[in-house]
Amino acid sequence: MNLRFWEKPLRMVWRIEREPHRAHLVGTAHFFPHSFARAFARLMRQANVVLFEGPLDEASSARIAEYGRHGEGVPTFVEMLTPEAINEIERLLRARLDSHSGDAWLFSLVERKPVYFESFTRNVRPWAAFFSIWKTYLGWQYSMDLEGYRVARQLGKPIHFLETLEEQLAVLDNIPLERIARQLNDVKNWAAYKNKYVQIFLAGDLDQMITFTSRFVTRGPVIVGARDKILFERMLPFIEREPTLVFIGFPHVPGVTQLLREAGYTVTQVCV
């Protein structure tokens, strides 16, 4: 793949300064259609250590996937969805997956049954079902967190995580079912949403990004507000000790940068 074609300027970056300390903060989108590997590498060459929200190693990713697959007896959002939304989600999943499946002929025999939707949601934890559907629909191949993690490993940078796997799983389990159902019932607006999302993110307009995504499943106070202080407190010792690069989800940036300013740091948005 030609990275020069896919890469865009990264504008969701903030420089953090208070003599003699200097660090950078990247506000990430967990799924994205473009690579930022070159920008990450440039930032990492200025850093002695790289921080991420939560574990990204293969063993941790496997544990998250395995945990998400076991949702027997867990309350579900399926009953909150309209038949129209389920049918449209099924249509989108088929359009994405049939071309990759040798069983397309079989699914065509049960065209009116939402077999893909059922396979994504049956006995699966609600957040895992949602993100599997959402990621499949988007078809985007990049995760900014995972890409940053791979670049950091390639460059031999020390890596630390700001939250434990158990903390992150607890957060996911506490996503309200109503938020997930609302997002899925709004399927008719997904195409417009994803296009606008990319446009705003690439422009680096954090305020508009926060407003635009306020109804997304992971934008509730349990996911964002309560964790900002935790992330800030855990990254601060690194920032005060050595040049640091921090990756956190962009919804945490307003809260974390406010805490940094209150701690005496100058925070400036930059483009890489």
Question: How far, in Å, CA of 75 to CA of 129, rounded?
Answer: 12
Q: What is the pLDDT of residue 28?
A: 97
Strand bridging mode 13-18 / 21-28: antiparallel
pTM for the model stands at 0.90
CA dihedral 77, 78, 79, 83 (to 10 degrees): 140
Domain boundaries along the sequence of the chain: 3-59+141-270
Q: What is the pLDDT of residues 87-112, one digit of tens each?
A: 999 999 998 887 655 554 444 444 55
Q: What is the DSSP string of the chain?
A: --HHHH------EEEEEETTEEEEEEEE-SSBSS--HHHHHHHHTT-SEEEESS--SHHHHHHHHHHHH--TTS--SGGGS-HHHHHHHHHHHHHHHGGG-TTHHHHHTTTTS-HHHHHHHTTS-HHHHHHHHHHHHH---B-HHHHHHHHHHHTT--EEESS-HHHHHHHHHTS-HHHHHHHHHTGGGHHHHHHHHHHHHHHT-HHHHHHHTTTSTT-STTTTHHHHHHHHHHHHHHHTTS-EEEEEEGGGHHHHHHHHHHTT-EEEEE--
Q: What is the pLDDT of residues 226-258, one digit of tens each?
A: 799 999 999 999 999 999 999 999 999 999 999
Alpha-carbon distances of 113 from 20, 50, 51, 86, 104, rounded to whole Å:
63, 47, 45, 10, 14
Phi and psi torsions of 159, nearest 5°: -125, 135
Q: What is the pLDDT of residues 38-86, one digit of tens each?
A: 999 999 999 999 999 999 999 999 999 999 999 999 999 999 999 999 9
